[in-house]
Structure 1
Amino acid sequence: MLRERRFIRLWCGTTASGLATWALPFVLGLAVLDRTLTAAGLGIVLATRTVGFLVAVPISGVLADRYSRRAVVLWAGLAAALATPFIVLGLGRSVLLMAVAAAVVGAGQGACRPAFQALTAEVVDGERRQQANAAMTLAVRVTTLVAPAGTALLAAVLDAWWLLVGTGLLWAVAALLPPRGLPGPERAAERARFFREFGEGVREARRHPWFLAGLGALAAVIFTGYSATGVALPLVSRDRYGTEAVLAAALTAYTLGALAGAVLVARWKPRAKGWAALTGLALYGFAPLSLLLPVHPAVVFAAYALAGLGIEVFNVPWFTATQREVEPRLLARVSSLDFLVSYGLAPVGLAFLAPAIDAFGWEPVLAVCALVCFLAPAVAAAVPSSRDFSRGGRS
């Protein structure tokens, strides 16, 4: 499967989009260091990119089900590629221009996600999708390591302008490289309105109790556990251990754990796939728990590695089950719900957690976060169809 030309093209296109996505914040961070961009300007640009992402995800879900998934990837990637030079033009001159261009780049990123998810189901047959999804998520995790390191190395010989141009070229690759999908389901001759079509996706999601339960558990973990990583980990690293090295090492351990999880789940097929996936999701609770207790830094690293492993043990079966169980003509719309909830709650959780820590201290807040991370997947597992992530009881 990994040697098939069509899948290699899809994998490379997805990887290019991941590299461009992860590299942009680091390039802009370098611009802050050389005083070409202010810290406030950086926050505005990244915030507008997130807004563009969240707006585009549901729209893309409808368009990718209405038209060709390959065409949506093409136009979304080209939009991000063509908008990137305007970030370059605005650097040091106009934060407003950078923010508008970043919103378009974020929209391109958001539009690609459900389209890539649905395109994977068209390019890869059902028996090999778990391996394909593991390879996709492996690419995402590798980019989280390669993009920052590669950006730092290139920064020694190139300035921020050229690095930004490089992210635009990566988006062009992401747009042009993926293959055409297999013939999709027949589309209706008359096009319904956007909200009606998106509503079809919502109704399809509601037909699958395991999907709603799993999405609720994922949302709870992201709102609490992910936010604890974003807000509490830097504070604990500084105030308890007196060094930022704990922050860097914990995040690296998380990524390495996720890589190990992707490799594991590429071959591992437990009998109760859903329960195994939800157990993996619950492992994220060890991350805030390790920050709560006065433990050696090595325990924190191990907890974050376990959380990273667990999130991929959840992600790969989750994506595979969605591709298997959801009606093909509605797959992009249902996938867009997944990305909208998971990515949309991340900034909301960050916004709530910081004031909560200021008001109550990090100990009670982290205790609640850990408890939610452990309990939410357990509640989801109580839904009967969650055992196999299958409404019809298929494994």
Structure 2
Amino acid sequence: MTHVVHDTAPPAAKARSVLRDSAFLRLWTATTASGLATWALPFVLGLAVLSRSLTAVELGVLLAARTTGFLAAVPISGVLADRYARRQVVLYSGLTSAIAAPVLTAFLGNSLVLAAVAAAAMGAGQGACRPAFSALTAEVVEPVQRQQANAAMTMSIRVTTLVAPGLTALLALVVNTQGLLLGIGALWLVAALVPPAGSGQVPSADGKGFVTEFLDGVREARRHPWFLAGLGALSAVIATGYSATGVVLPLVSRDRYGTEAVLAGALTAYTLGALAGAVLMARWRPRAAGWTGLFGLALYGFAPLALLLPVHPFVVIAVYAVAGLGIDLFNVPWFTATQREVEPSKLARVSSLDFLLSYGLAPAGLALIAPAITEFGTSAVLIVCAVVCFAAPAIAALVPSSRDFGPRHE
């Protein structure tokens, strides 16, 4: 039987800030660099379209290649990060993306095939580092500090999303697309080289095949009903609510309100709301953390409703701020519980399953929502999206262990 060590530290240990830990700060710096590099690539490629060094069709091919590389690498990395040292997997993942950046720079606008191969390699490095970083966090950070650590990492993502577009646009005034792509490669070098060593207490290769080891991770996930329920709810919300944001919000902003300001305001409000949620969860320890997280996840259901109803534009913006707040009410305890409850030797595989299903379904949702709108109409699609966003977390909350994302810890 697997025994998981729970939070039994005295109050004094709980009060110590994780930001005083140099090992965590190195890990935070690396994850922030990887997050910034991940965000920046599609933005910089979009700037290449504006400068006419890339066509819209070529942009679509490169982004599709990156997504394919990401999805292919996530399960492979999950197995490798449980088989070998997580720090090694982070190193090679970051180096893969760092090396791919100058290759993409060299062939952008010259050879679409080679540029797509480089984009796929960058996506693979991005996908490979995600489960490895999650597992490495559990090695570097003490259990009582993990919620604060996960909140700090989430805050860095939100600040990056908020500030980076303006900074990148300013850099584009003095640096061309090739220079910006090389800068992305430098960020990946930081992600590869800066993280601290973990505990290294992971099993070495035991002769099992890749598929067998991955299925061991699936079986570990199935041991935790709260995880399956929460992952199902998260995947449903991303595939529907996020798709409504990606496809319908720009149309509503243009057609109903006659300005792109509503689109920009809603997306900015979402990021600010998420940042507020991460700040809140850095200190708040709700008694029913799982139900709190699922409630936060369900708040995204108001976003498609706001797009459906003829409300004032400031209502749309406010609703997106609430949706952003809710998503990090879910994210922070979700990652913390996964690191706490899952058997350490299988944590990367379970994390890879999380990323593969939740984020892997996002492109499918985006691809399906436009044809669905054409077939059934915008109102019908938004109603379905809202119902799914409300119902999926509510159904997940019916699973007994979802109350605390695991057995209750007194």
Give the TM-score normalised by the residue count of structure 2. 0.95
Indicate whether 1:12 and 2:29 are aligned.
Answer: yes
CA separation in 2, counterparts of 1:235 and 1:74? 42
Q: Quick one: distance in 2 between partners of 1:203 and 1:8?
A: 33
Provide the C-alpha distance between the structure 2 equivalents of 1:253 and 1:158, rounded to a whole number of angstroms: 29
TM-fit CA distance, 1:34: 1.0
d(CA) in 2 for partners of 1:4 and 1:272?
Answer: 28
Structure 1 match to 2:14:
none
Return the letter of the residue paired with 1:174: A
Residue 380 of structure 1: CA displacement?
A: 0.3
Distance 1:92 1:339 in 2: 31
Q: In the alignment, residue 373 of structure 1 is paired with which amino acid? A: C
Query: Which of 348, 366, 373 in structure 2 is aligned with 1:357?
Result: 373
Q: How does 1:362-377 map to 2 (within 5 A)?
A: 362-377=378-393
Question: Structure 1 stretch 202-211 or stretch 241-250: which is displaced more?
Answer: 241-250
- Paired residues for 1:118-133 under 5 Å: 118-133=135-150
Distance (Å, rounded) in 1 between the aligned partners of 2:22 and 2:206: 35
Number of the residue aligned with 1:77: 94
Residue of structure 2 in register with 1:280 after alignment = 296
Do the aligned partners of 2:71 and 2:360 also contact (CA within 8 Å) in 1?
Answer: yes
* Residue in 2 that maps onto 1:316: 332
1:216-255 map, 5 Å: 216-255=232-271
Q: Do residues 59 (structure 1) and 76 (structure 2) align?
A: yes
Q: Which of 49, 55, 62 is the matching residue for 1:32?
A: 49
Residues 22 and 148 in structure 1, CA contact (< 8 A), matched pair in contact too: no
Shift of 1:188: 5.0
Alignment match, 2:409: 394
> 1:89-110: CA deviations, max 9, x gaps?
1122111111100000000000
8 Å contact kept, 1:54–1:344: yes
Q: Distance in 2 between matches of 1:104 and 1:346?
A: 20
Q: Distance in 2 between matches of 1:330 and 1:178?
A: 21
Deviation at 1:191, TM superposition (A): 2.4
What RMSD in Å do the two structures reach over aligned CA positions? 0.9
User: CA–CA distance in 2 between the matches of 1:150 and 1:56?
Assistant: 30
Question: 1:243 offset after TM fit, Å?
Answer: 1.0
Say whether the 8 Å CA contact 1:87–1:102 is kept in structure 2. Answer: yes
Aligned to 1:213: 229
Aligned to 1:338: 354
2 CA distance for matches of 1:95 and 1:188?
A: 40
In 1, Cα distance between equivalents of 2:347 and 2:206:
19
**Partner secondary structure for residue 2 of structure 1:** helix
Deviation at 1:379, TM superposition (A): 0.3
- The yes-or-no answer on 1:92 pairing with 2:121 is no
Partner secondary structure for residue 200 of structure 2: coil
Amino acid at match of 1:94: S
- Per the TM alignment, residue 252 of structure 1 is displaced from its structure 2 partner at its CA by 0.6
For 2:8, the equivalent position in structure 1 comes to none
Q: 1 CA distance for matches of 2:350 and 2:91?
A: 20
TM-score, structure 1 as length reference:
0.98
Counterparts of 1:222 and 1:26, CA distance in 2: 21
Partner AA of 1:327 in structure 2: E
**Amino acid of the residue matched to residue 376 of structure 1?**
A
Query: Residues 65 and 117 of structure 2 are in contact (CA less than 8 Å); yes or no, is this contact kept in structure 1?
Result: yes
* 2-structure distance, mates of 1:368, 1:264: 31
User: Is residue 158 of structure 2 the alignment partner of residue 147 of structure 1?
Assistant: no
- Taking the TM superposition and a 5 Å limit, the aligned residue runs for 1:157-168 are 157-168=174-185
Could you give the per-residue CA deviations for residues 170-210 of structure 1, whole angstroms, max 9, x where no partner exists?
A: 0000000000012314x156221000000000000000000
Equivalent pair of 1:74/1:176 in contact (CA under 8 Å): yes
Query: Could you tell me how far apart the structure 2 residues matched to 1:44 and 1:218 are?
Result: 27
Deviations 1:139-192 (A, max 9, x none): 11111122222110100111101011000000000000000012314x156221
Say if 1:61 and 1:114, in contact at 8 Å, map to a contact too: yes
Superposed CA deviations along residues 333-356 of structure 1, whole A, max 9, x for unmatched, are: 000000001111000000110101
Contact 2:70 2:128 in 1 (8 A): yes
Q: Distance in 1 between matches of 2:201 and 2:370?
A: 45
CA distance in 2: counterparts of 1:287 and 1:327, whole angstroms: 36
Given that 2:34 and 2:191 are in contact with CA atoms closer than 8 Å, whether structure 1 keeps it comes out as yes
| Aligned-residue identity in percent | 72
Give the ranges of 4+ consecutive aligned residues of structure 1 lying more than 3 Å apart after TM superposition: none
**Partner SS, residue 106 of structure 1:** helix
Q: 1:266 to 1:235 in 2, by over 3 A?
A: same
Q: Distance in 1 between matches of 2:384 and 2:293?
A: 22
Superimposed CA distance per residue, residues 205-252 of structure 1 (whole angstroms, 9 cap, x where no aligned partner): 000000000000001101110000001101111110111111111101
Specify the alignment match of 1:266 in structure 2: 282
Question: Amino acid of the residue matched to residue 394 of structure 1?
Answer: H
Taking the aligned partners of 2:371 and 2:205, their CA distance within structure 1 comes to 51
Report the CA distance shift for 1:104/1:188 in structure 2 as closer, same or farther (over 3 A): closer
Partner of 2:210: 194
Structure 2: runs of 5 or more not aligned? 1-17
In 2, Cα distance between equivalents of 1:13 and 1:298: 37
Per the TM alignment, residue 265 of structure 1 is displaced from its structure 2 partner at its CA by: 0.7
Pick aligned residue for 2:196 from 179, 183, 195: 179
**Alpha-carbon distance in structure 1 between the residues aligned to 2:331 and 2:200:** 26
Distance in 2 (CA, whole Å) between partners of 1:177 and 1:137 is 19
Correspondence list, 1:284-303, <5 A = 284-303=300-319
Q: Distance in 1 between matches of 2:206 and 2:183?
A: 41
Partner of 1:328: 344
